[in-house]
Amino acid sequence: MTNALTLAYLAGSRPGTALARACADSELLRTALGERFLSRPVFLEADQVQDVGSRLSDLFDLLLSLPHRLHGGDVRAFARAVGWSPLQIATALGEDGIPREVPRFARSDLYQEESGRFRILELNVGSPLGGFDTPLIDDVLLADPYVSSFAQEHGVDTTDTTWMLTKVLGEALPGLDLGTGPVIGLVDWPASFTFLEPRLRVMAELLRPYGIEAVPCHAGQVESRHDGLYVHGRRLDAVHRFYVIDDVVAPQDAELLRPIHEAARDGKTGLFTPLEPEVYGSKGCFAVLSDERSRHAFTDGELEVIDSFLPWSRTLRDEKVHVQGEVVDLLPYVRAHREDLVVKATGSHGGLDVVPGWSTDQREWERIVDSFAGGPYIVQRRVRPVAEQFPVGDGTRDTESLVLNWGVFLVGHGYGGAYIRGTADLDGGVISQANGALMGTCFHAGTGRP
């Protein structure tokens, strides 16, 4: 279902792939996002902005409530239930098992269905999120005369996700004075830093106009001293965490992070964000919310949010479940419905450890189901995204069909911008930068740009 803003944009004398080339000509954008960009912005109307922001906020509230509703307030028990290992629990969570305050900051992965409504595939919670560099795309697009005049005529604008980040940073770390030029370490994991360092350097450039000196580094470069943490001889006022709980697989991993977590605990260095919020971003949470055995814990209104927003999801294990009103044995059901299901690791990021059944043959699918069953994996109903039209060539009216992954941010209690990835593979299973997706940004009606 194409909205009115998109139809109006395509009906005008809009540019073709020149916009994508202009993005690729930006050195900062090439460094951050490669050379593949969408040929136009995507659009959300005001009611869509309100709807998706509200539903993300409602879902976030439900996720934060799960330890209390289902585990007597014990977040450690909840973490076990959604697939965290004992080592990860010990590394990330307090000994008392009491949930800490979690910043209302997350980024979803959404598909838009034919009805026009969005369905959520996953929710990434905490600080290690992609999409802070989309203002670079916004600036290139708004420099085009047609895009600029269209935005003014139709009252649409963009959301500066870098500004949003600074806003959340200030709220999450009240002791950090952004007006005094703080030094913040953009701290990644040693293995992933080898290829993410250039993108973190772009992020440092984006933060510079806000008075923040950002230092890209990895956890192995962080030095603990009596007065806090240092990187390359610079004392850090705060750490922006880009390493994730899935990096903690052995005791030496936990030991590597210990100085950072102790400095934060002792108030020597701010930490945005601790590892704990990631428990609410586990894909195992969707299996818990979707499971019929949890339905007693929610009101009718909350069940409407779950049923309308989440795909049917279950933990991948040998047990009986409800499917469309019938009780079935889960594993035989999954083996028999390959074309309609996808298997995901509970803690994967960036589309890793995601196996769409329709992209495998039956023998391989059955092998995957049998080998993953009982581990930290879920099975989820396939969501079929609607295609949108994008200009091709220059000076023509030709378009091509692409499907989109809408990376919509939740900031506070509503919409906080979007990070868009698209592909012409209409039957593909994962739309991600790693899989060669075209990168883009979203213009929306209803609010102005910060």
Q: How many domains does the chain have?
A: 2
Q: What is the pLDDT of residues 110-140, one digit of tens each?
A: 999 998 899 999 999 999 998 999 999 999 9
* Confidence (pLDDT) at 447: 57
* Confidence (pLDDT) at 150: 97
Q: How many CB atoms lie within 10 A of CB 115?
A: 9
* Confidence (pLDDT) at 450: 44
Q: Which of 344, 359, 381 is the last residue of a domain?
A: 381
Q: With b meaning 16 or more CB within 10 Å and e meaning fewer, what string describes 32-41?
A: bbbebbbbbb
Tokens matching residue 141: 């697009």
User: Can you tell me the distance from the alpha carbon of 337 to that of 340, in angstroms, rounded to the nearest whole number?
Assistant: 6
| Range of the structural domain that residue 317 is part of | 312-381
* Confidence (pLDDT) at 276: 93
136 and 29 share a domain?
A: yes
Q: Which of 118, 270, 277, 113 is nearest to 185 (CA)?
A: 270
Question: If 0-12 CB within 10 Å is exposed, 13-18 middle and 19+ buried, where does residue 285 land?
Answer: buried
Q: Residue ranges of the chain with pLDDT lower than 70?
A: 95-98, 348-352, 447-450
Q: Are 337 and 357 in contact (CB under 8 A)?
A: yes
User: Can you tell me the distance from the alpha carbon of 141 to that of 41, in angstroms, rounded to the nearest whole number?
Assistant: 8
Tokens matching residue 268: 């020597």
Q: How many CB atoms lie within 10 A of CB 132?
A: 25
130 and 240 share a domain?
A: yes
User: Is residue 291, in this structure, part of any structural domain at all?
Assistant: no
Strand, coil or helix: 262? helix
209 and 244 share a domain?
A: yes
φ/ψ (deg, to 5) at 417: 100, 175
- DSSP calls for 278-327: GGGG-THHHHHHH-GGGGGGS-HHHHHHHHHHSPPEEE-SSSEEEETTEE
* Confidence (pLDDT) at 434: 80
The residues near 197 (Cβ < 8 Å, ≥ 6 apart) are 188, 216
Prediction pTM value: 0.94
* Confidence (pLDDT) at 9: 96
* Confidence (pLDDT) at 132: 92
* Confidence (pLDDT) at 352: 58
User: Is residue 301, in this structure, part of any structural domain at all?
Assistant: no
User: Is residue 428, in this structure, part of any structural domain at all?
Assistant: yes
